[in-house]
Chain A
């Protein structure tokens, strides 16, 4: 693979700076440049300021401190010469053609042959950008349109011109895919490209129609949200996030470049209620609030689109918002149904009209909306739910034009599964949907085969070459007894290798607390103890199984979901891994071997001083504060990942990488040797107790924190273990179990669990 180890980003605004950070996350050496501010003493002030700000950005732009150190800053005048070393130069300056072209001319003067230059423009056509520039420059130029925030948004739109060097563009696309972890969607050089073209049309239409109908914003958001698989922020919640003040600019620039007769022009109208809001500073979440705000006494309020006054948020109660059948919404006659059908019907038709002018393939459009706007289903997948012919007829009844792509699809589906393979309608024929090399999706496997094992909470899949994949299927992938039972059965099958992976938003949020609190409320202590014991035994069996186990987590891996990582032979982590033993937040301690495994990791770490105390101290800090990593890199620092564990940047590649790792481990596999623990005993427990009392006195620990930390200290110090003697892992597991059972019976713990279930936040009792 062609390397892009040296990357320069020019323009240290929000997007430029965060693109720079993310390139550094991928391991590249990054140079961040901006102009020399007029009359400044420090000629690098802009880029330096951006880097300083970047380190404090929330959610974090950097994945690790090492990534921060990989970014150097400068200015475009003094440091221009450095661009000669850059493999890829990203331009992310202000959206002004004259300034961009002037910059390109400078770059052209210093860049090396074979380098790529790309613009992050979202509005200026590629043809205009490169107009009049050298052929050498044009061959190396493309548009790489990142989405905000670049670290977290998985979409990247790549636009090339006919004269762009195709091989170089492919290299860059592959780099962006594998190393930056983005899904690259090829877009045509058309206004707004794909996602924003369609997204802005959708948002503007939804706002205009809601104002016209005088709907409550909560109702509009509920209607446009759940029924269509769109995040519950809906429309107004999203505009608040984007910024109300940006909308007129985005609309204007899009309108200026769209051809006459484009359906967007009809929607691009001024809305007095919104103009007033912007004028008064209600520009969204970054301002005083937007369509929603925190009113006096922190109460949530929403704006009334008719009167323009804020009022308390009302829980929307409309039947259509709960509809499961989309047709019933399109057939509906209530104002709410008409609203949802008008907005979404027009949007879906507009999506179909973008082929082939903005995108070559329907999959590009679906991918763009799913990754750029977090829709669960793309526009063509939504049309399939209605039926292409049915939807075309609906459009006709509404007096709307039927786009040719849709007309041609009458009687067909845009997507079909045949013999377990996914096909998409392309130029009138069903064409297999292919994945790039190195991408293995569980979704594809699930289409093609039946599970080897399955129960209501988990399933086991054959992913080829003797490797099997254990998938959680419970709500939020929460862990329960059924998962433990199926995992036990999966282990007994002794496959060549086992991968623990799923494609949910989060790997696992931990044990099912709803079940736990019910069991605790009815005093079903023996059931709870059984769950703890079964979990301990199953995880132990996983650890000592005669075949390699690779965990491949993405997103949150909390509590029991983190403990399963700790019992795997290796972890192939998605870069976005938020792992931690968070049990203390609900008044518990890790009871499925989490204390034990973290102790073993720190005891084995050569980075710690010798002696029985340093390791328990580290683990105590981690668990008592319910530490959660903010990236895989941080998890590595916290020893949740060990040496030899690896990180995959693109989550679509995670399963493939994990499988390869399992196969590699299987070549010469021997199960790990059981750890021996030398722990400090009573003296250690006393030291923890004193430390906690000190935190409590300083107001850093709550009353109940002291109780939970006391139990944790008891486990980590080995209870009454003799500081000179050694204990085995079953001994530590016994301590975990006993402490867990004591805590789960306490009112303070149950109050924390209940609060977590009710609010999603920890109770500080």
Chain B
């Protein structure tokens, strides 16, 4: 059976101790007290309402009958309760009925949802992406018509990008949009892999659809974005008559079975342009970037759930004796947590989870600054940081999520492989996060091919400078000095790799492509190392006066040490691999495969 307890202490640590910057402009009402009570409520909701539906939803899955998709038992009630609690609009604008919470807070709530029921999270998650795109690119009329109902959850949303012949390369989109005399468009085409494309949770579904105008230029510059409701709003703005939108089938998948993944047909469906003609990708990128950070959070949520499950079992499961002799002679056997290798697995998970949570919070904080800072220069710097780190956290967190789920299965042994404990579900559910919203390979290409070279590497500065300053300021730290020195060498490896790729890529883009995935991982490892050192420094400062909190800080120090000594050194081999270049990858002729 799956269990979950929201890691509130660590979340508060990250929010209020690690990120103790000045309060965000525009978010002054979110006092630490309010934030803590929201987190507590969210944790309760997720543990009590969403977690119980996770395994059952996986077992039952979604079903389609005559084009109508039925979600698993209990989902509708949970969805209503979710909206009742206002969770769907947590981050959305106040003027349209949202709570206007900062991303820093919302990402932690999202983590809880993903840890307890990632399938359920898909439905409001997709809606939030659509809301964000309409907030930024929609007309006032569109906003007034759609946003309040979507934010309240009465209506839900989707992103319709993928078609049978195009996923990563959206320039190939064929779905057509033909202008009508009344200013609307008729949309015709087939879309696949549409999450939440059809379901029974909301009374209307608002599709954001990429399509091509008849005179559009070929490729990615000829794509426009349209809003296409399942039911056309009537004069009162309520869901009215049907539109030419139908669900032909749902996919049978490895995981997230309670999330309906639909093949959608648009047959002369009525839609309206969002943003400028042929500028759909710009509008879509707003959704995709938000969605990539959302998927990163899914990786983190799964990792947390896996860790909690594994710890529970490692402490309970009695089997054999410790290598140094019995630790619990009174028991029939020692719990398996006494074993170094089991501890390796548990600490790996924990180091990923807490390091990623801290890094995710840093990104979220900068995202909030990008959206709310009054000073345009600071806003731009924050945007550059978020742009740089988005592919890193998407790929690194989701890789870590899958790795942690796998380690959890391993900790359970045979009991992890069977269904009863829910670990195999985590493994299956985690897998998709490495694929959708741009595969992790595409994230790595985005990092080396777009983010790194843009503006002569300006966005790199937003990450590298604070790290270098920290190393410089703490290299003589009485306790952490040596660790900082070791981390400095890892940071040096990242600098070297960056130089290597930047120089090579100038003459040969394939070199950058060959290094991309290893570079992203190297980047992620160093970023986590930075967060760990910051957390350890803080823990050392807090420890003397921590009182009952002392164990929390002790654990931080131990986990941090584990990360720095046993995980971070991977950067050495990654650098060696990167410097090996593309030769070994490209040598073998295609026909020999």
- Residues on A facing B (Cβ under 8 Å): 514, 517-525, 527, 745, 750, 753-754, 757-758
Contact of B498 among A517, A522, A745, A754 (CB under 8 A): A522
- Whether B464 contacts A522 by the Cβ 8 Å rule is yes
The digit string for B453-476, where 1 denotes a CB below 8 A from any CB of A, is: 001111011001101110000000
Can you report 28 residue pairs joining A to B where beta carbons are below 8 Å apart? A517-B456, A517-B457, A518-B456, A518-B457, A518-B498, A518-B499, A518-B502, A521-B456, A521-B458, A521-B460, A521-B461, A522-B461, A522-B464, A522-B494, A522-B498, A523-B461, A523-B467, A523-B468, A523-B469, A523-B495, A524-B499, A745-B465, A750-B458, A750-B461, A754-B455, A754-B458, A757-B456, A758-B456
For A518, list chain B residues within 8 Å (CB): 456-457, 498-499, 502
The digit string for B367-409, where 1 denotes a CB below 8 A from any CB of A, is: 0000000000000000000000000000000000000000000
The distance in angstroms between the C-alpha atoms of A758 and B495, with both chains bound, is 23
Closest 10 interchain pairs by CB?
A523-B468, A521-B457, A523-B464, A521-B460, A521-B461, A522-B464, A522-B495, A517-B456, A524-B495, A522-B498
The distance in angstroms between the C-alpha atoms of A525 and B472, with both chains bound, is 11
- Whether A514 contacts B456 by the Cβ 8 Å rule is yes
For A750, list chain B residues within 8 Å (CB): 458, 461
The distance in angstroms between the C-alpha atoms of A757 and B454, with both chains bound, is 12
The distance in angstroms between the C-alpha atoms of A524 and B468, with both chains bound, is 9
For B455, list chain A residues within 8 Å (CB): 754, 758
For B458, list chain A residues within 8 Å (CB): 521, 750, 754
The distance in angstroms between the C-alpha atoms of A519 and B464, with both chains bound, is 10
Interface of A is mostly: helix
Q: How far is the CB of A105 from chain B (nearest CB, A)?
A: 66
Q: Which residue of B lies closest to A750 (CB)?
A: B461
Q: Which residue of B lies closest to A745 (CB)?
A: B465
Q: How far is the CB of B369 from chain A (nearest CB, A)?
A: 16
Instruction: Give the interface size class of chain B.
Output: 10 to 19
For A757, list chain B residues within 8 Å (CB): 456
Q: How far is the CB of B439 from chain A (nearest CB, A)?
A: 26
- Whether A754 contacts B456 by the Cβ 8 Å rule is yes
For B499, list chain A residues within 8 Å (CB): 518-519, 522, 524
Q: Which residue of B lies closest to A517 (CB)?
A: B456
- Whether A522 contacts B457 by the Cβ 8 Å rule is yes
- Residues on B facing A (Cβ under 8 Å): 455-458, 460-461, 464-465, 467-469, 494-495, 498-499, 502
Q: How far is the CB of A512 from chain B (nearest CB, A)?
A: 11
The distance in angstroms between the C-alpha atoms of A729 and B401, with both chains bound, is 58
In this complex, the member of B457, B467, B494 whose beta carbon has the largest number of chain A beta carbons within 10 angstroms is B457
In this complex, the member of A518, A521, A524 whose beta carbon has the largest number of chain B beta carbons within 10 angstroms is A521
What 9 new A-B contacts, CB under 8 Å, besides A522-B499, A753-B456, A754-B458? A518-B457, A521-B460, A521-B461, A522-B457, A522-B494, A522-B498, A523-B461, A754-B455, A758-B455
The distance in angstroms between the C-alpha atoms of A517 and B459, with both chains bound, is 12
In this complex, the member of B464, B469, B495 whose beta carbon has the largest number of chain A beta carbons within 10 angstroms is B495
The distance in angstroms between the C-alpha atoms of A754 and B457, with both chains bound, is 9
Q: Which residue of A lies closest to B459 (CB)?
A: A521
Q: How far is the CB of B298 from chain A (nearest CB, A)?
A: 30
Q: Which residue of A lies closest to B455 (CB)?
A: A754
Q: How far is the CB of A587 from chain B (nearest CB, A)?
A: 14
The distance in angstroms between the C-alpha atoms of A517 and B457, with both chains bound, is 8
For B467, list chain A residues within 8 Å (CB): 523
Q: How far is the CB of A606 from chain B (nearest CB, A)?
A: 45
The distance in angstroms between the C-alpha atoms of A517 and B502, with both chains bound, is 12
- Whether A521 contacts B468 by the Cβ 8 Å rule is no
The distance in angstroms between the C-alpha atoms of A517 and B452, with both chains bound, is 12
The distance in angstroms between the C-alpha atoms of A521 and B451, with both chains bound, is 13
Q: Which residue of A lies closest to B468 (CB)?
A: A523
The distance in angstroms between the C-alpha atoms of A522 and B503, with both chains bound, is 13
For A514, list chain B residues within 8 Å (CB): 456
- Whether A523 contacts B465 by the Cβ 8 Å rule is yes
- Whether B468 contacts A525 by the Cβ 8 Å rule is yes
Q: Which residue of B lies closest to A757 (CB)?
A: B456
The distance in angstroms between the C-alpha atoms of A634 and B455, with both chains bound, is 36
For A753, list chain B residues within 8 Å (CB): 456
For B469, list chain A residues within 8 Å (CB): 523
Q: How far is the CB of A741 from chain B (nearest CB, A)?
A: 12
For B465, list chain A residues within 8 Å (CB): 523, 745
Q: How far is the CB of B575 from chain A (nearest CB, A)?
A: 14
The distance in angstroms between the C-alpha atoms of A524 and B496, with both chains bound, is 9
For A517, list chain B residues within 8 Å (CB): 456-457
Q: How far is the CB of B232 from chain A (nearest CB, A)?
A: 39
For B494, list chain A residues within 8 Å (CB): 522
Q: How far is the CB of B542 from chain A (nearest CB, A)?
A: 28
The distance in angstroms between the C-alpha atoms of A757 and B453, with both chains bound, is 13
For B457, list chain A residues within 8 Å (CB): 517-518, 521-522
Q: How far is the CB of A530 from chain B (nearest CB, A)?
A: 13
Q: How far is the CB of B484 from chain A (nearest CB, A)?
A: 15
The distance in angstroms between the C-alpha atoms of A521 and B468, with both chains bound, is 11
For A527, list chain B residues within 8 Å (CB): 495
Q: How far is the CB of A51 from chain B (nearest CB, A)?
A: 46
The distance in angstroms between the C-alpha atoms of A750 and B468, with both chains bound, is 16
The distance in angstroms between the C-alpha atoms of A364 and B495, with both chains bound, is 53
The distance in angstroms between the C-alpha atoms of A748 and B465, with both chains bound, is 14
Q: How far is the CB of B336 from chain A (nearest CB, A)?
A: 43
For A745, list chain B residues within 8 Å (CB): 465
For A522, list chain B residues within 8 Å (CB): 457, 460-461, 464, 494-495, 498-499
